[in-house]
């Protein structure tokens, strides 16, 4: 099962002003509690104080890690014919594709569905808000996710608790920090 995690946290800049961030991730797990545990594990060291919403989501496919680009939501119309009912059935599928543009996302999806025996048409693609996909048993997805978390941390998207005197970098090393007053 797939879960969509929406997390919210705040970061205090050098001038003492707070900035709010919201991030979205896809997590694969068979249980809600397992997804919660994974979420805490994968954010550990980068985000220490956050709120989250975790919801089960259904979609067709997430394509293999690509390490570059954003996640695009590609909508596909699949037509199948039932000999029993002598009717055509249309199903709308959602796939998530990592790409550097809408055009590339559509091309990757088209290449993927070209092997199907059903009649499929790509309706469109839009950039999604998903920043990473965590799969607990797939090292390629884990490596992709870790790389994306490092990029977010380098961009300043990491939080510290008001009582925290040290912050751990995503690689596990300690980053010295002064106490932040609330």
State the pTM of this model. Answer: 0.73
Q: Residue 44: inside a domain, yes or no?
A: yes
Q: Residue 140: inside a domain, yes or no?
A: yes
For 82-139, write each residue's pLDDT tens digit: 788 888 889 899 989 989 999 999 999 999 888 888 888 999 999 999 888 888 888 8
Distance, CA of 157 to CA of 155 (rounded, Å): 6
In the chain, how many domains are there?
Answer: 1
Q: Residue 70: inside a domain, yes or no?
A: yes
Higher-confidence residue: 11 or 74? 74
Domain span at residue 26?
2-176
Distance, CA of 90 to CA of 182 (rounded, Å): 55
Q: What is the mean pLDDT of residues 171-177?
A: 43
Q: Residue 182: inside a domain, yes or no?
A: no
Q: What is the mean pLDDT of the chain?
A: 81
The three-state (H, E, C) secondary structure of 36-86, written as one string: HHHHHHHHCCCCCCEEEEEEEECCCEECCCCCCCEEEEEEEEEEEEECCCC
């Amino acid at each position: 099962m797939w879960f969509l995690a929406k997390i919210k946290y705040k970061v205090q800049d050098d001038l003492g002003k707070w900035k709010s961030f919201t991030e979205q991730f896809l997590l694969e797990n068979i249980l809600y509690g397992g997804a919660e545990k994974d979420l805490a594990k994968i954010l550990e060291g980068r985000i220490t104080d956050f709120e989250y919403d975790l919801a089960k989501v259904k979609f067709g496919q997430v394509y293999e890690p690509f390490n570059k680009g954003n996640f695009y939501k590609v909508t596909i119309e699949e037509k199948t014919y039932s000999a029993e009912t002598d009717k055509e059935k249309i199903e709308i599928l959602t796939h998530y594709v990592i790409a550097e543009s809408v055009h590339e996302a559509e091309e990757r999806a088209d290449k993927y569905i070209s092997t199907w025996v059903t009649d499929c048409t790509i309706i469109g693609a839009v950039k999604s808000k998903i920043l990473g996909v965590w799969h607990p048993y797939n090292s390629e997805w884990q490596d992709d996710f870790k790389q994306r978390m490092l990029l977010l941390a380098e961009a300043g998207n990491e939080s510290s608790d008001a009582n925290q005197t040290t912050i751990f970098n995503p690689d596990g090393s300690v980053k010295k920090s002064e106490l932040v007053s609330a």
